[in-house]
Chain A
Amino acid sequence: MSINPSLSLAEYLERLPGTTFKKLYQQPSTTFAIFRRMLPHLAKTFVMRMLFLPHPMTLADLDAWVKPEAKRKKDQSLSILRSLHIVQISAPSKEKPQEIQLMSNFKRSLRLALTGGGNHNSFGVPSSLMVPPEIDLPFLDRYARKKWEDVLHFVVSSVGYKSSLGEGSGPNKGVKELLIAGQLVDRRPNGSLGITQAGFTFLLQEANAQVWTLLLLWLEVLGNNKSSGLDPVDMLSFLFMLASLELGRAYDTNALTEERRNMLPSLVDFGLIYIPQHKRSMFFPTRLATTLTSGGNSLRTISEGVAAATQSAQTSQQSLGLLGGGGTGEQAGSVVIETNYRLYAYTQSALQIAVLALFAKLNMRFPDMVAGRLSRASIRQAINFGITADQIISYLSAHAHEQMHRTAALTNKPVLPPTVVDQIRLWQLENERMKTTSGFLFRDFTDDKDYLDTARFSEEIGVLVWRNDNTRMFFANKHEQIKDFLKSRKKAE
């Protein structure tokens, strides 16, 4: 069983065949979630514009929508829309211009999601039973945080920094096995568990990405295990449905299919849903589930929007804390890094301190803050653990303090000091002088025009990594669309 541990949701979806997408797009909630989560802003605008068009439109018309300087952005958007099987573009031919239209399934489902009709029950059937009064938003947040913290502690406690938690409070056995199967942690020869490089990547991601990583692992493990009788497509569609449920509302488990009911215990283990002990027929989605479709950084800005401002400071702190990244009482942005490599983190979370201790030398600890500095030795140590400079930098930028964002916005400078970012990379480069990109080399083109056209195409869709015009070779990190392009060129000739 081989699993690629650092698989992102986009990569996972891209590998699915077109028929799978057809099935996924039958449910309005799934369509809605994919639209919201997977598309760049411009692509969303395109989809919305085409949604109520009765006929296909020509590609030339689409070109006319976009300013010339944004052509590259447009091509990338179109390429994503095609790879997710959202639009279909007719093959180029002499008699008819190329036309573009939304896939009929996708179009129908998204229209249904927006206008709210039909009888598909894809947005969850609410439970008609009385909701126990003790289950409110703070309770669900506490519950989800506890569960997720357990998972993270299990991963992190295998490195040098010993967590203060006892051994007994770890996650469920199934989750532990999943983490081992996903190679986030592995068994060392002496029987203990150790964190792997994939585990570090996992730790340094934002909470939302962490949840997805774990869920995708789970899908793959079950998908490979035919005896489980679960259909990964149906499961994925169920996860997207969970994302569109309302936080704090009880839903009816009896309205779910048998397969989906079987998924519930695992989802409880991850902390995505909560099932009350004495009322097994209802489930509550937690914040971990309902924010599955929010992309990357919006976790920080969402902060439940204006609602959070009107809520008491206490509860908004909690909701922020849950979303912030580590899952513990850690705030959304808490790390300040200065140009002199000093680092301050306003946190009490043992987990976040443990993560920081992986790559920084912490030398002071206060009730709500730790201070330390990045040094050549500390970064080298992190690299020996298997953490890359990119991971450290993205962790720092994901957790940068609000004040850093504010100063950056005022002075029009990057959020992290460029000197520090450069130096971290230089420290890594000291012993690692090459960077590998997996991909495909294209060469032996018949003529110059052939080469130039293909290379330009691959640059436009954003997969070109390197080119050398003299030897007529270029290197791209994906080949599917280039293949299609070459095929359609052949046909046109």
Chain B
Amino acid sequence: MDAVDVSEHYEVTAADNSPSLLSIVLDTNPRAWAALDSSLSLAQAISNILVFVNAHLAFSNANQVAVIAAHVNRAVWLYPALQRPSSTTVKDNSGDVQMQDASAEAHLPPPSANKYPQFAQIESSVFSSIQTLMAETTVQDLDQLTTQLSGALTLALCRINKAAQALSSSDTTLSNAAPVNATAPPPVKGRIVVVSVSDSDPSQYIPTMNAVFAAAHNQVAIDTISLAGDSTFLQQACFNTNGIFLKAANPRGLLTYLMFGLIPDTEARASLITPTHDTVDFRTACFCHGKVVDTGYVCSVCLSIFCSPPDNAECLTCGTVLALGNYGAKPAVLPRKKKKKKKIANGSGREETGSATGTPRP
């Protein structure tokens, strides 16, 4: 009779095994990979990443994967491959280019009996796309030293968003009527893994951070494995989205870093202790010269950051004329007040930050 106890409710909830979508952003900067070639070549790295992709897909047959190359001048889909544009590019109503899960070209190679069919498809798609990409890279492109990271992050977020919408509801009318609750778990566990080999480009600070905040809002974690270079912004990206930042001291062990550090998805991380990094580089890039700065001048109206006071004390972004005050002047020493300090009446203890709300975080 214990079962008819008053307090206990028999909670019947669907088990949480929503699919998990992994987007891999691979930095394909040719210069950076050439510098790294002695320890880890690009081909080896891609093979390692493919094993990692297969491991992710092995978790469940609802899991999905996308691989995006962040190249010197653009971001390119490696998997799912974009359909080769024939004479006219296929566009649907919203102007999106139609994508196919590489099944269209599956008839080309005879599938091997020693490989899971899906793995073979991804492999052939990634390899052929990266060959096309490298063949299309011109000498002029190589003048660029940095990588189009923000574009690749945005593509990855679009993909996750699209998958989430496709899964959440077949009938959009109902979902539009229901209020969107920020605490409700997203239908897809999205995650972006960035394989970074080059420095962060200060000119991309704003688009990158926009992508990062969008990811944080959608509860998408950004993980980074940094093989070389100084990826300041990615450290912040991982910090803001509760992702993992790994600095690979030995790039040759890429597979071990991936399989050990980055295999747990957001669900498994609830019960695992994730690797942490104690120092996060929070420096930002200034808006005027694109320099990475520790301290700078901030416009009190639009929060733009400048490394030196702008000309005529006029904000370059919003045009507000700013009063500079006497910055750098010697502070005057005030005599201490005699009166005993009263307790602060509405003792919020909160510092004046100038804005009513904090930085939006989910």
User: CB within 8 Å of B: which residues of A?
Assistant: 28-29, 32, 35-36, 41-42, 44-45, 48-49, 51-52, 64-67, 69-70, 73-74, 110, 112-126, 244-246, 249, 255, 291, 293-298, 301-303, 305-310, 313, 316, 393-394, 396-397, 400, 402-403, 405-410, 412, 414-416, 418, 421-422, 425-426, 429, 433, 435
Contacts and interface: CB of A to CB of B under 8 A. Distances in A.
Contacts of A41: 17, 59, 267-268
B115 A123 contact: yes
A246 B61 CA distance: 12
B298 interface: no
B62 A48 contact: no
B114 A118 contact: yes
A49 B110 contact: no
Interface stretch (B6-14, B201-209, B278-286, B328-336): B6-14
Contact of A406 (B98, B116, B167, B174): B174
A116 B119 contact: yes
A45 B111 CA distance: 29
B158 interface: no
B273 A414 contact: no
Contacts of B110: 126
A414 B255 contact: no
Contact of A412 (B4, B114, B179, B183): B183
B17 A298 contact: yes
A393 B17 contact: no
A114 B54 contact: yes
B51 interface: yes
B116 A113 contact: yes
Given A41-B267, A307-B101, A409-B185, A397 B14 contact: yes
B169 interface: yes
A291 B51 CA distance: 23
A309 B183 CA distance: 25
A376 to B, nearest CB: 16
A301 B117 contact: no
Given A42-B272, A124-B113, A406-B174, 4 more contacts: A36-B60, A49-B260, A306-B163, A309-B166
A302 B19 contact: yes
B35 interface: no
B176 to A, nearest CB: 12
Contact of B272 (A70, A122, A400, A418): A70
Nearest to A320: B170
Interface in B2-58: 3-4, 9-15, 17-19, 51, 54-55, 58
Nearest to A112: B114
Interface residues of B, number: 63
Nearest to A115: B51
A405 B15 CA distance: 11
A415 B12 contact: yes
B21 to A, nearest CB: 9
Given A115-B51, A410-B178, A32 B163 contact: no
Contacts of B51: 114-115
Interface in B93-131: 98, 101, 110-120, 123
Nearest to B179: A410
B140 interface: no
Interface of B: 1, 3-4, 9-15, 17-19, 51, 54-55, 58-62, 64, 98, 101, 110-120, 123, 162-163, 166-167, 169-170, 174-175, 178-179, 181, 183-185, 187, 255-256, 259-260, 263-264, 267-268, 270-273
Contacts of B11: 414, 418
B183 A294 contact: no
Give chain B's interface secondary structure class.
loop
Q: Which 5 A-B pairs have the closest CB atoms?
A: A70-B271, A309-B166, A116-B115, A246-B117, A121-B113
A422 B9 contact: yes
Contact of A415 (B13, B58, B268): B13
Contact of B59 (A44, A70, A249, A302): A44
Contacts of B64: 305-306
Nearest to A304: B62
Most buried by B among A69, A118, A121, A298: A298
Contacts of A32: 58, 116
B62 A45 contact: no
A49 B263 contact: yes
A42 B259 contact: no
Contacts of A309: 166-167
B4 A426 contact: yes
A120 B114 contact: yes
Nearest to B183: A412
B162 A306 contact: yes
Nearest to B181: A410
Contacts of A293: 61
Nearest to A128: B110
Contacts of B170: 313, 316, 402
Most buried by B among A29, A48, A397, A433: A48
A305 B58 contact: no
15 contacts: A42-B268, A42-B271, A44-B59, A48-B263, A49-B260, A65-B272, A67-B272, A74-B271, A116-B54, A116-B123, A122-B114, A393-B10, A410-B181, A415-B12, A425-B3
A65 to B, nearest CB: 6
A303 B167 contact: yes
A51 B10 contact: no
B117 A415 contact: no
A113 B61 CA distance: 15
A182 to B, nearest CB: 27
A405 to B, nearest CB: 6
Most buried by A among B17, B184, B187: B17
A102 to B, nearest CB: 13
Contacts of B119: 114, 116
A48 B55 contact: yes
A44 B267 CA distance: 12
Contacts of B120: 116
A249 B117 contact: yes
A405 B14 contact: yes
Contacts of A44: 58-59
A249 B169 CA distance: 30
A123 B174 contact: no
Given A36-B61, A305-B166, A406-B169, A429 B271 contact: no
Contacts of A291: 61
Given A67-B273, A116-B119, A298-B19, A52 B113 contact: no
Nearest to A406: B178
Contact of B259 (A49, A122, A407): A49
Contacts of B54: 113-116
Nearest to B263: A48
Nearest to A49: B260
Nearest to A291: B61
A415 B14 contact: yes
B114 A302 contact: no
B1 A414 contact: no
A157 B117 CA distance: 40
Given A49-B260, A67-B271, A293-B61, A429 B4 contact: yes
Given A244-B116, A416-B12, A422-B9, A305 B62 contact: yes
A170 to B, nearest CB: 32
Contacts of B117: 123, 245-246, 249
Contact of A117 (B114, B167, B183, B272): B114
